[in-house]
Structure 1
């Protein structure tokens, strides 16, 4: 009887652990999806309709144009929207991509200031914001 109870207890704990991890992954990818949709909402010009036609909440963000997810955590680790002639601003939500390693927004028409929240991108190894219309000085926190 004791073995049955121990087995039941271990199975219950394992199931709880798996369900908690699935819930955490869902929440995290939802955070990434919301940040991407927020970025999309600030794009006032998408002449080739890359985002209009491909960024849909009905499809996993890992299958969106310009988005790559890591195989381990299934989180956005690369965002490459370079050379798409996009025009708009970068919102504060950009700091929510906690697994982002590569960000390439080069050769577009993004404008405005750099959001302070970009300092939260602690895993970022590659950044290209060239050939855009940002204004102001490069912030001191940008040295990471």
Structure 2
């Protein structure tokens, strides 16, 4: 009987974590896909081939994405030297756990969106 109670409690814990974490993961994924949508030059098709709605972004599948272990939220975005061009989407503020944004050696233009001011954990920017 004790094993059944433990199993039930573990099942409830996993469901709780899934329910709580899923909306946050969706916010991160939507922010990344909005970022991708503003890329107007992607000569090597890196993001076109790699960043997909169907694949999880925190399992080392999406190139340039680093996630935290505990919350499975985007902590780093490193797209340096990929030949990308475009603007930074205002939806980037959905990456509320982002600490590092490295997009140097690309052709991004325009201004940082005001929404980047909402990224309270952002510590490093390389343009």
By the TM > 0.5 criterion, same fold?
Answer: yes
Greater displacement, 12-21 / 72-81: 12-21
1:23 to 10, 19, 24: 19
Q: Give TM-score, length-normalised by structure 2.
A: 0.86
The match for 1:80 is 78
Could you list the runs of 5+ residues in structure 2 that have no partner in the other structure? none
Question: RCO (CA 8 Å, sep 6+): is it higher in 1 or 2?
Answer: 2
Superposed counterparts of 1:1-20, under 5 Å? 18-20=14-16
Superposed counterparts of 1:51-90, under 5 Å? 51-62=47-58, 63-90=61-88
Q: Give TM-score, length-normalised by structure 1.
A: 0.76
Separation of aligned partners in 2, 1:33 and 1:79:
12
Flag as ranges the 4+ runs of structure 1 deviating above 3 A.
11-18
Secondary structure at the residue paired with 1:127?
A: strand
The match for 1:117 is 115
Separation of aligned partners in 1, 2:12 and 2:117:
35
Superposed counterparts of 1:129-140, under 5 Å? 129=127
Q: Could you say what the CA RMSD is over the residues aligned between the two structures, in angstroms?
A: 2.0
| Total equivalences in the alignment | 123
Greater displacement, 16-25 / 70-79: 16-25
The match for 1:49 is 45
Q: Deviations over 1:11-70 (max 9, x none)?
A: 988765542321121111111110111011111110011101101111101220000111
Secondary structure at the residue paired with 1:79?
A: strand
Separation of aligned partners in 2, 1:45 and 1:107:
13
